[in-house]
Structure 1
Amino acid sequence: MHVLQLVADATEPLNIGALVKASGYPRPTVHRIVAALVAERLLAEGERGALLALGPRLIQLASRSWGRSDLRLAAVDELKRLRDLTGETVHLAVPNGKAMVYIEKLESPSAVRMASRIGTSVALHATAVGKAYMAALEPAVLGPLLQGLPLPRYTGNTLVKLPELRKQLQVTRDRGWSVDAEEHEAGIFCYGAVIRGSRGLPVAAISVSTLMFRQKADPEGAYVAPLLQACRVISGRIAETPSLSAADIL
């Protein structure tokens, strides 16, 4: 279970060496555990078995659970409306340690599809959902999180220095929405905003993702305005529904 959790918490695929180091288990033990998990389709091997990620069976099981979750049920109608208004792919993500996890994805009607999928863990510092979530945290919570946050580079635009990230989080906090300007994946531009629970604390985030070549001339009007409206509606729905507001979803 520990090895599976390490893979789940990682923001990118791991290899056997990384798992040996992170788990503290002997290499033969890790090989046996990985082989068993791959056989059950709980882990998936990349090319030549070099990299490991969550397997299709685990993602299917998680998707069934998320599909019935209160948060997704509270959000799904607005997510569909947002997708239809913008014509772009919409993601709903929740925090999971030092990452965000997609629990819903509604594809753009465009023929071009994005590689993201439900169950994927993505970096806090390089995604619109991650930055929207962090910017909404109380300083006493955000400070310790940033101090221990890994900042791997995904593209030439990724923010890999803490002062730069802090500055962008302040901008995000001031204006109420975040941007991923090809920071996680080249050619993809995302806008994000946070969903709050009944106590005003962030519980999730939504992003609208568009390909750079088809981004509209007025992105704030085309993407940000409907995104913020969707987040307000979902946050209000959470606050007004006893079964949702009691525990702030998470």
Structure 2
Amino acid sequence: MPARQPASSTPASQVAGTAAFSKFMHLMQLVADTPEPMTVPELSKISGYPRPTVYRTVAALVAERLLAEHPRSGKLTLGPRLIQLASRSWGRSELRLAAVEELKRLRDLTGETVHLAVPNGQHMVYIEKLESPSAVRMSSRIGTNVSMHSTSVGKIYLAMLDEAALHAALDALPQPFSLQTPNTVKDSAALRKQLEQVRRRGWSVDDEENEEGICCFGAAIFGEAGKPIAAISVSTLRFRQKPDPEQAYVTPLLEACRAITRRIAETPALSGADML
């Protein structure tokens, strides 16, 4: 009798239920990514799925508490079960555990909001966020996907890739680039010029490129064979940015990334890139 093929080696197109599962995931992602909660008809329109399909899928997701539907408005939000699962996932992230003390120290030294992000396909995703003690807070959330080309965490990650990996990553980015603000870099050629400078100095800047009024400074965490596996940013509001941002933000940021990189190198379980 031939050996049973491991499930992980079976092409996704041959796995029973893949199409239905993909619809579930696509609809949940749309609910998560849309700034304002949507109704089922709105979700059907933005997803491109027929309304009966969306009604059935949403009903199943609500029954499993993966989505929640407001009883009067019909607006959809992520459900408590999904949030529970996500919270446990982030809480157990080995990378987060390796970084959390340095992140706290960095937040306290700078007095600003600190994010930890990892690559997620063509984006970076925040897996930890420590808020500034200031009364004015950032709107970002753990689990948020952000663009590679317009954020400090994305640009530092790209800049620290080897040339072959960088070429592949830039080719994979959606073209043309989405322009988040008037300062957003417009194409791959302009981004490459930025990345050359970032690579030379070892840190990146998002100068109101992802969100107006917010400036971020990014540095990379390295894993096995010196490959970038994550990035940290320090985010400040333009009106309260300190006169010497390199001294105030970048120096402690680089120290934090070096400390986390050392810890990863000294801990065999953390030496690979897959630490989520």
Report the TM-score range of the alignment, normalised by the length of the smaller protein: 0.7 to 0.9
Distance 2:99 2:147 in 1: 22
Amino acid at match of 1:229: E
Match of 2:188 in 1: 162
Q: 1:188 is matched with which residue: 211, 214, 218?
A: 214
Select the structure with the greater relative contact order (CA < 8 A; seq sep ≥ 6): 1
**SS of equivalent residue, structure 1 residue 159:** coil
Which entry has the higher C-alpha Rg, 1 or 2?
2
Match of 2:117 in 1: 93
Whether the 8 Å contact between 1:123 and 1:130 is mirrored in structure 2 is yes
| 1:54-86 deviation per Cα after TM superposition (whole angstroms, max 9, x unaligned) | 556434421221111110110000000000000
Distance 2:268 2:77 in 1: 37
Distance 1:206 1:232 in 2: 11
Query: How far apart are residue 247 of structure 1 and its match?
Result: 5.4
Q: TM-score, normalised by structure 1?
A: 0.87
Q: Which residues of structure 2 form unaligned runs of 5+?
A: 1-20, 36-42
Query: How far apart are residue 217 of structure 1 and its match?
Result: 0.3
| 1:7-49 deviation per Cα after TM superposition (whole angstroms, max 9, x unaligned) | 64999539544422xxxx5453234324543565535789x88
Whether the 8 Å contact between 1:9 and 1:99 is mirrored in structure 2 is no
1:71-220 matched pairs, under 5 angstroms: 71-150=95-174, 151-220=177-246
Distance 2:68 2:232 in 1: 27
Aligned residues: 244
Whether the 8 Å contact between 2:114 and 2:129 is mirrored in structure 1 is yes
Distance 2:67 2:190 in 1: 35
Distance 2:30 2:123 in 1: 7
Distance 2:152 2:32 in 1: 15
**Identity of paired residues, percent?**
66
Query: How far apart are residue 107 of structure 1 and its match?
Result: 0.4
Q: Which residues of structure 1 form unaligned runs of 5+?
A: none
**SS of equivalent residue, structure 2 residue 232:** strand
**SS of equivalent residue, structure 2 residue 134:** coil
Q: Which moved more, 1:239-248 or 1:226-235?
A: 239-248
